């Protein structure tokens, strides 16, 4: 049987060492945990600051781009304020204004309703250039109706390059096909 050394206080000496170690660990860990806690608690506020600081620039850029495109200040303010992605909205209007003769106010109305404003702009510009801008008001409507405006625009341009179709006939053919392909019509198309 081993004998254990006992300190003057009547406690075994081995427990004194573990008490010293526990005290040192607590003294070291307390400031580290406090600093880590402060850092973690400040993350949400830092993230919000970064998030909001970029957003105001988006609205500012939107308003600036719409004003440069010729949109009235009140319409620009309303359009940017209601946009989920203000920069996409203003890019849509600016692209249509730069590449076609479509009025920027009409472009703003269509871009505001579009789920994908940049794709709408690509569709409008592509079809307008292909049709020599003969059907500009209709192009905004047709590209806006399509769920996949770029695909719709490609359909119109592609068909007109190979088949002698009037612009409105190409628009009607491609919009009917896209609605059928998306399951919007219930009757099958027979050859």
- Centroid of chain to Cα 99: 24
Are 152 and 124 within 8 A, CB to CB? no
Q: In the predicted model, is pLDDT for residue 161 greater than 60?
A: yes
Q: What per-residue confidence (pLDDT) applies to 188? A: 47
pLDDT-based confidence at residue 187 (cuts at 50, 70, 90): very low
Q: What per-residue confidence (pLDDT) applies to 22? A: 64
The string of pLDDT tens digits covering residues 13-23 is: 555 666 666 66
- Cross-strand partners of 6: 12
The string of pLDDT tens digits covering residues 82-104 is: 999 999 999 999 999 999 999 99
Flag the least confident range among 16-30, 124-138, 165-179.
16-30
Of 188, 112, 122, give the one whose Cα is nearest residue 149.
Answer: 122
Are 168 and 157 within 8 A, CB to CB? no
Flag the least confident range among 1-10, 134-143, 160-169.
1-10
Are 131 and 174 within 8 A, CB to CB? no
Are 109 and 75 within 8 A, CB to CB? no
Q: What per-residue confidence (pLDDT) applies to 11? A: 55
Phi, psi of 6 (to 5 degrees): -115, 135
pTM, rounded to two decimals: 0.66
Choice between 134 and 119, residue whose per-residue pLDDT is larger: 119
Q: What per-residue confidence (pLDDT) applies to 96? A: 97
Using a pLDDT cut of 90, give the percent of the chain over it. Answer: 60
């Amino acid at each position: 049987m081993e004998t254990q050394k006992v300190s003057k206080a009547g406690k075994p000496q081995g427990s004194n060492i573990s008490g010293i170690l526990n005290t040192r660990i607590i003294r070291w860990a307390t400031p580290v945990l406090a600093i880590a806690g402060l850092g973690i608690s400040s993350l949400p506020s830092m993230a919000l600051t970064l998030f909001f600081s970029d957003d105001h620039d988006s609205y500012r850029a939107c308003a600036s781009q719409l004003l440069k495109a010729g949109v009235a200040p009140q319409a620009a303010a309303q359009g940017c304020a209601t946009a989920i992605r203000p920069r996409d909205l203003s890019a849509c209007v600016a692209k249509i204004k730069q590449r076609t003769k479509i009025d920027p106010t009409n472009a703003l109305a269509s871009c505001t309703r579009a789920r994908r404003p940049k794709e709408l702009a690509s569709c409008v510009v592509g079809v307008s250039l292909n049709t020599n801008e003969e059907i500009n008001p209709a192009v905004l409507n047709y590209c806006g109706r399509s769920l996949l405006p770029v695909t719709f625009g490609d359909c119109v341009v592609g068909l007109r390059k190979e088949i002698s179709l009037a612009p409105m006939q190409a628009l009607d053919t491609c919009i009917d096909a896209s609605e059928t392909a998306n399951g919007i019509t219930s009757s099958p198309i027979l050859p």
